[in-house]
Amino acid sequence: MNAKSPASMSRQDLYERLRTSSREEVTLAEMQRLGFWPANAAGRPDVEELIRREAELSSALRELGSELRAVEDPAVALRAMRKERMAKAKARRETRQRRARERFERASAWHQRHASEILYLGEGVSAGLNDTHSDGDRLARAALPPLNDARELAQAMGLTLQELRFLAFDRRVSRISHYRRFAMPKKTGGERIISAPMPRLKRSQYWVLDNVLARAPVHPAAHGFLAGRSIVSNAAPHAGRAVVVNVDLKDFFPSIDMRRVAGVFGQLGYSKQVATTLALLCTESATEEVSVDGETFHVAYGPRVLPQGAPTSPALTNILCRRLDARLQGAAAKLGFAYTRYADDLTFSGTGESRKLAGKLLWRVRQIVIDEGFTPHPDKQHVMRDSQRQSVTGIVVNEKPTIDRPTLRRFRATLFQVEKDGPDGKAWNGNTNVLAALEGYAQFVRMVDPAKGGPLLQRVRAARERWSTPAGTPAATHSTGDFRALSAQGKAPWPGFWQAGPAPAPVVEKTQVQVTLAKKAVQQEQKERVAALADAQPDTMLEAPPQALLPWRALLPQFVTAFLLALTYRTPLPLAGMLLLARKSRRDGRLGWGRFLGVMVAVVVLHGLLRRWN
């Protein structure tokens, strides 16, 4: 036995031992400890069991006795019940406070993390957001901004992290859209859907374009949307060639999905978090407007792809097509052809010896294009010999880069009509904003042939000054150049440019006592405010406006009813009662039909009683 000796126990410990057990059980334990009773006596186990059982029953009997005494005394029972209820209420209150404190701590931790990190950007696009390690050496070699996570990206853009999350979040159903979509007619027929980004998203795309994409290397064969290159530089290598081959890529921008765009940023050296965020800023899903209960929703369908209209889309295609350009240039060089690309227009040209190899070139080009994830347009493949007009991106290149003569004559005729009669009812290439369209084409002519384009541009601008909208029409408040320059610097394009702010911090849930005290404080504040107003205007008496008297004609139905009752019962009592009611009704400003009916019933009863007494 491991029981302590009574000599080593204090008086309190000994009393506690006797209370929880019994004297017989303690005696038996001491006898076993001192050796007077065998601890494992096989002969007489019933005595020990009886003693233990007696101790258990005695303890249970004492508990029942205490409960019985409490029940027999109502005051003690009520005190015990009240004490028990108070203990339970206190425990519940402490539990609520503890849970509220735990919820507040969890919410505070999440709020702090949410304010400093981007953990989720939508279903199916958030994989890899935990990777925040960028390749600093690769970024430094390309002179790209060293960004490891979305927080550093937001700081570089001059945005809050909440604004960056709002712009990049992939919402399948939303009440807002970051793009304004409209259709533009194609020269070959049909319509082209343009997705123009809204200013808040366009600001971030300009930053990506000027600080990241513009610094990335591209293939020399690419000429579209690059500084120092144009459609003229794209057409110049093909001037005076024996054969010119044009191949167009079908659905060029929609064929590049978000995965490929994120791969471009990843190859530049950025972490998966930064690459995914940038890819979401530069792509969009096709959406359909759905109206439900008078509210418009934008429902996205299909994958996220490059939008035709975003400033970042052409630069991304130039970077993504580096391997395509290298393979096409290599295949063309083996067959003796020169190669250039302007966006989705692939152009090849060769000397006289290459005439017979055009079919072989087209076959190889088709295989390479398909292998790189693009689709050749079956209706836009042209092989042009030197015996026919050879055109590259709208420029005739038979001998040297020149403008198409029929188009130039048509342009001059339209310009003459505008100079003579004004722009009303006229259009250029389907564009009803004829002055802007003519100026754009005149600049194109000047770029190809300055000798012809310069005078034409002067005539267009003179016509625009003559026939432009009156000066009272408000002009654009912010220029595109300033917008792009400030956006690229990470600055707000104009004062007061709004962006999403931080989410409100969580607060501790108030207890019932705190809620009651807050209500009392509000009520006390209202009372003090009323008292202050009363003290500020002590001489002002708030009087009800005088009430207008009820006109006599409004009481006519009641007078008629009283008159009929007087005729029926042959007594003037109804008329007398009506006169009294009329005076009161005019003073109160209301008819009081309930009161009238009550008085008439009383008058009839009174008349009956009077007749019986008589």
pLDDT tens-digit readout, 77-91: 788 788 989 999 999
Q: Average pLDDT, whole number, for the chain?
A: 86
Amino acid 590: pLDDT: 63
CA within 13 Å, CB half, 482: 8
Region 415-438: mean pLDDT is 86
Q: What is the rounded distance in angstroms from the CA atom of residue 416 to the CA atom of residue 428?
A: 13
Place of tokens 């009956």: 608
Vertex 554: Cα angle to 552 and 559 (nearest 5): 75
pLDDT band at 311 (very low <50, low <70, confident <90, very high): very high
pLDDT digit string (tens) for 2-27? 566 666 777 777 777 777 777 777 77
pLDDT digit string (tens) for 489-505? 999 888 888 887 778 88
Region 229-249: mean pLDDT is 94
What are phi and psi for residue 249, nearest 5 degrees?
-90, 130
* Distance from chain centroid for Cα 329: 44
Reading the block at residue 90, the tokens are 């206190």
DSSP letter assigned to residue 431: B
pLDDT over 90, % of the chain: 45
pLDDT digit string (tens) for 361-370? 999 999 999 9
Q: 40-47 — which CB contacts under 8 Å span 24+ positions?
A: none
Amino acid 473: pLDDT: 43
> Domain ranges in the chain?
18-72, 120-215+257-305, 226-249+323-401, 405-468, 552-612
DSSP letter assigned to residue 489: T
What's the whole-model pTM score?
Answer: 0.69
- The H-assigned helical ranges of 395-449 are 405-421, 434-448
DSSP per residue, 2-42: -PPPGGGS-HHHHHHHHHHS-HHHHHHHHHHHHTSS-TT-S
Specify the DSSP element, H or E, that contains 279: helix 272-282
Comparing 44-48, 301-305, 431-435, 552-556, which segment has the lowest mean pLDDT?
A: 44-48
Candidate ranges 51-55, 237-241, 573-577; pick with highest mean pLDDT: 237-241
Region 350-356: mean pLDDT is 86
Q: What is the rounded distance in angstroms from the CA atom of residue 255 to the CA atom of residue 310?
A: 15
| 486, 489, 492, 494 alpha-carbon torsion, rounded to 10° | -20
Comparing 17-26, 64-73, 87-96, 543-552, which segment has the lowest mean pLDDT?
A: 543-552
